[in-house]
Amino acid sequence: MKQALPARVALVAGLHADARRRAVDRLLEAEPGALAVHHDLGRIGDGEVYRVLRDRWGTVERTRVDLVHSCVSCTLRQDLVPLLCGLAERGEHSLYVVEAWDTVAPRSVAEALTATVVDDRPIAEWVRLAGVATAVAADRLVADLATTDDVDDRGLAVAEEDDRTVAEVLAQQIEYPTCLVLDGGAGGGADPERCTAVLLQLNPAALVVPPEREALAAMADGGFDPEAAAARMDPATAQPPDSCEAGEVRTVTWRRSRPLHPDRLHRALDDVVAAALRSRGRFWLASHPDTMLAWDAAGASLSVEPCGPWLAALPDAAWELVSERRRAAAALDWCAEHGDRCQCLTFTGVGLDAGRLTRVLDACLLTDEELAEGYRRDEDSDDPFDEIIAAAL
């Protein structure tokens, strides 16, 4: 019987290829009419991309894909999207499982499968994204969140200038979906409770499941909201819990309502980043009072980028141009003196010393005396964040 449109699509991502592949296998077993689509990007640097189709019995087709530009976005736009639309119209399969390549972010695929326009029609007329999952190997989870390796060090780069770190890729893969598949928790040399705590504290919106048919079938029979997922990852709108603790795994959110001194913060960066496996959020520098800055650290790598003005720095009329989620987040942070300007940084780690971390960060804030006098840049020294901010603008 021909399947009705839109066809269901489930996305399974993951840096840990074996764990991801097992999750896809279990999903194909749970849905006898399912077909998996995987783009092998292992040789993308040489201009080669291979599309692999398989069902529960094995490989159905392996085809080299010729692209004008061999890149992830081209693969999605020029091959995956048209392929899925064509398969959906034929209606031969009950579910399409998109298995993302190791270092591909699930967000880029999910947004391509929900926001693309095909022949002047929304892709939603052909396919419906029913679920997004990331599979992780329990015995590699903590080590890969702490590693200093770049993806290129492991032969996993998907572009010439792919300078992402392994920890950065894994953290973003964990934080986006609503389902996390924990593989190898029992008998694999890893503590399943600790791994589950790490996953849930990095992504409280997700359900952590074992790689079993029933759990994966349920994931693929629901729905996925890419706008809500993007808002959870947006430093301007995220509202993390103040604290969470499960065994050795701890998350603490540092919230303050006075600005950071740029020189003192810069000197403390190594200590602050090293304190946790993962840290993220928004912060306020005294030297850039109108600019919200995004903090994104994984492993030993830290990224600082401007993400627009604080709403308190905008004229009232401009608020109508800001998203409802952004206005809601600002309202929660609002204080009479500074508006929505604030410090909101969340740290997650194993054995995290929250007290020491808080003391280090508090020491970077402007003192009462500095606040009373007003911040003044030292004429004999440059602001260490000027170059970072200018480069991103």
pLDDT by 10s per residue, the chain, length 393: 789 999 999 999 999 999 999 999 999 999 999 999 999 998 888 888 999 999 999 999 999 998 767 778 888 888 999 999 999 999 999 999 999 999 999 999 999 999 999 999 999 999 999 999 999 999 999 999 999 999 999 999 988 888 999 999 999 999 999 999 999 855 566 899 999 999 999 999 999 999 999 999 999 999 999 999 999 999 999 999 999 999 999 999 999 999 999 999 999 999 999 999 999 999 999 999 999 999 999 999 999 999 999 999 999 899 989 999 999 999 999 999 999 999 999 999 999 999 999 999 999 999 999 999 888 777 666 788 888 777 766
Joined tokens for residue 84 = 């899925």
Mutual orientation of helices 106-115 and 226-233 as an angle, nearest 10°? 140
- pLDDT for 393 equals 63
Distance (Å, rounded) from C-alpha 274 to C-alpha 301?
A: 9
Joined tokens for residue 58 = 């094995």
- pLDDT for 187 equals 53
Let me know if 197 is exposed, middle or buried by CB neighbors in 10 A (0-12, 13-18, 19+): buried
Joined tokens for residue 74 = 């081209």
Q: Where are the alpha helices (DSSP H) in 124-280?
A: 141-146, 166-175, 192-202, 213-219, 226-233, 262-274
Cβ proximity of 315 and 331 under 8 Å: no
Which residues, at least 6 apart from 139, have a Cβ–Cβ distance to it below 8 Å?
Answer: 184, 188, 189, 190
Dihedral in degrees, nearest 10, Cα atoms 254, 255, 258, 260: 30
Joined tokens for residue 222 = 């629901």
Let me know if 255 is exposed, middle or buried by CB neighbors in 10 A (0-12, 13-18, 19+): middle
- pLDDT for 377 equals 77
In order of start, what are the domains of the chain with their CATH numbers? 7-233 (3.40.50.300), 243-392 (3.30.1220.10)
